Structures are given as structure tokens and as C-alpha cells.
């Protein structure tokens, strides 16, 4: 159950777009459409932002979008805002009937 691979940090200016990648294997990200993304502010519980690769829960801004190609999933945030500054984690179902998270990406809004 190796963690999915995410960049440790990304940054962008207000109004810009950024993309966070999440790389796994054919046994997790590449094999299923059960990829989800979470936002976590310091000291807070994570919040679901994207599920099933590209679906947004009710109440999540349409500035957040998800996609997948092969073994790599991506989260794109457009029109960056100061409140988007947080840690972001991807997660995937695996062939072992477990879940695995990425190591997390710290987003800085410059």
C-alpha cells in the first residue's frame, strides 16, 4: 500500500490556475474511477472537493475540477483565491479493497 505520489508544494498568484498531480499504479488510480480529492486547512478536518475522478459535491466551487489519464489523476483550481491556500490530498480505491492517500500537496497563494 504505497502512498500515491503528489508534489510536496505548488504555488500560484490570485486569479491564476494551478494543477496538482497524483500518480499511482494500475492497481489503484489507473484501475478504478474511485479517485477523490480533499482540502485541509490547518487544524481542521479534511473536506471532500472531488469524487469519482471529476465530480464535485454540492457546495464546492466550480473553480475546482478533476481529471484522470492513465495512472495519474489531477486536480485543477482556477481563479485562485486566498482561501484556497491549504493542503490537498488525493485518494484512490485499490485492488486490495483498501484506500490509499497521496502524501499531500501544500498550496501557497502568493
Question: Segment contacting other proteins (CB under 8 A): 19-27, 63-71, 75-83, 102-110?
Answer: 102-110
**CA 44, CA 34: separation in Å to the nearest integer?**
24
Q: 3-state SS of the chain: helix, strand, coil percent to 5?
A: 5, 50, 50
> Which of residues 49 and 79 has its CB atom nearest to other proteins in the complex?
49
Choosing from 3, 41, 83, 95, the residue that interacts with other proteins (CB under 8 A) is 3
Taking Cα atoms as reference points, which of 19, 53, 41, 30 lies closest to residue 86? 41
Contact letters for other proteins, residues 44-83 (x by CB under 8 A): -xxxx--xx----x--------------------------
Q: Do the Cβ atoms of 4 and 102 come closer than 8 Å?
A: yes
> Which of residues 21 and 101 has its CB atom nearest to other proteins in the complex?
101
Amino acid at each position: 500500500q504505497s502512498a500515491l505520489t503528489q508534489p510536496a508544494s505548488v504555488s500560484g498568484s490570485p486569479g491564476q490556475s494551478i494543477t496538482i498531480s497524483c500518480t499511482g499504479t494500475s492497481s489503484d488510480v489507473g484501475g478504478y474511477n474511485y479517485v477523490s480529492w480533499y482540502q485541509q486547512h490547518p487544524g481542521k478536518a479534511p473536506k471532500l472537493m472531488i469524487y469519482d475522478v471529476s465530480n464535485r459535491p454540492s457546495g464546492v466551487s466550480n473553480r475546482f475540477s478533476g481529471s484522470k489519464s492513465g495512472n495519474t489523476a489531477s486536480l485543477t483550481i482556477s481563479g485562485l483565491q486566498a482561501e484556497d491556500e491549504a493542503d490537498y490530498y488525493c485518494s484512490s480505491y485499490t485492488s486490495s479493497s483498501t484506500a490509499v492517500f497521496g502524501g499531500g500537496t501544500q498550496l501557497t497563494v502568493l
